[in-house]
Copies of this chain bind each other. A is one copy, B any other.
Amino acid sequence: MALGDALAGDIAAGKAKAQAVCQTCHGIDGVATEAMVPNISGQQKEYLVIQLEAYRSGRRQHAQMSIIAQMLTDDDIGNLAEWYSNIKVTVEPPA
Q: Which residues of B contact A86 (CB under 8 A)?
A: 93-94
**What's the dominant secondary structure at chain A's contact region?**
loop
Q: Which residues of B contact A50 (CB under 8 A)?
A: 36
Partner of A91, one of B38, B45, B60, B88: B88
Q: Which residues of B contact A94 (CB under 8 A)?
A: 11, 15, 83, 86-88
Q: Once the chains bind, are A29 and B91 in contact (CB under 8 Å)? A: yes
Q: Once the chains bind, are A38 and B29 in contact (CB under 8 Å)? A: no
Partner of A89, one of B36, B41, B59, B60: B41
Chain A contact residues, CB within 8 Å of chain B: 11, 15, 28-32, 35-39, 41-47, 50, 59-61, 83, 86-94
